[in-house]
Structure 1
């Protein structure tokens, strides 16, 4: 029968072994945790940058197409539209008046006539849709262009104003602006935690095309 000393010695050895096992488990977990933190510290800025760049492409695409629609509208009405409904109505119902010259203006023996021919604006719109989004209807295209991607259905704002033509004192021209805040399509990236990846990141910054205060159809990217 083992003596008390032997029993105590075995218990001590078992306790030491259990402590070593527990310590090894803790060290392993700590190492896994450190590896996870290291991977996250590398992954997060990469994910933020890649996500932002990808979404920027989609936003710019829609803003660029909206600007093209505004240009067509201006050629029809002489100013820019103040809503997507106005854009759609004009581009599906108005007509272009194109001058056609009949006769040779360099031939003095004949009389030259200039007649105006009507072309439906809808034809130009359908041609644009066929080129950009061939599988979309007119309604689907306008819904696509007016909706901010990755925003759960939020719409781009659209505004119209007037500005002085550069180089003149008082000549006014129509202006427009279509846009949204960057945070609208990057809602999961708050500035507080992601500013370390891009010190200039500001979710309240506007991503827009056009300018209310000067004649422009360019984007601010």
Structure 2
């Protein structure tokens, strides 16, 4: 009988140790896995922001269509200024600006008369605009544009993409975008209780339960909610 009691007590002790271990390691493991996944998602959201900003520069607005944004990234070209030389302090103090310098150089190219350019000390000053592919300027080599919509660790789910085209009270154009993904999309299955705790905390803080970049409710300079 005593042996049986000892075995039961041993089992109870093991169960208690397991419960205590789980209560300690559960939140730690959840946070560790959350950090790994969110690091990849934040990187993707930053790529989306880059693409949207370039798209707006070219089209004066954002897009809420993934196919349109992907095609733009794959095929569009943007202006890039090749710079050679710079204005000296004496030139700047004398009222010279880059615009004036380029106007002087363009005039010399048209007329073939370079005396004024030489007198101003601008022989080695160049500002040439070239057109380069978006893929070659804002994304690293090997970047796959087709991956933009998809949430890392999201089991094939896409980011929610929205835009807003409006005007301010002064009549100025207002163009906003946001891309976001809720916690459930990429954190489900790790620890459901910790996920509920995280959502409850964010709700109490009146914050979005997930990761997002930009905001269609109010301008925020396209910041991410992790920044």
Note the residue ranges of structure 1 that are not aligned, 5 or more in a row: 1-18
1:179 Cα offset (Å): 0.9
Cα 1:193/1:47, change in 2 over 3 Å: closer
Corresponding position: 1:184 with 2:166: no
1:196 Cα offset (Å): 5.2
Contact 1:160 1:176 (C-alpha < 8 Å) held by counterparts: yes
3-state DSSP of counterpart to 1:43: helix
3-state DSSP of counterpart to 1:90: helix
Number of residues of Structure 1 aligned to a counterpart in Structure 2: 189
- The structure, 1 or 2, with the larger RCO (C-alpha pairs under 8 Å, 6+ apart) is 2
1:194 Cα offset (Å): 4.9
CA root-mean-square deviation: 3.3
1:95 Cα offset (Å): 3.4
1:98 Cα offset (Å): 6.4
Contact 1:157 1:179 (C-alpha < 8 Å) held by counterparts: yes
1:163 Cα offset (Å): 4.0
Corresponding residue for residue 160 of structure 2:
157
Deviates most, 173-182 or 92-101:
92-101
1:76 Cα offset (Å): 1.2
For residues 147 and 139 of structure 2, the distance between their equivalents in structure 1, rounded to whole angstroms, comes to 11
TM-score normalized with structure 2 length: 0.69
For residues 143 and 106 of structure 1, the distance between their equivalents in structure 2, rounded to whole angstroms, comes to 42
Corresponding residue for residue 209 of structure 1:
213
Note the residue ranges of structure 2 that are not aligned, 5 or more in a row: 83-97, 111-127
Post-superposition, which runs of at least 4 consecutive aligned residues in structure 1 deviate over 6 A?
98-103
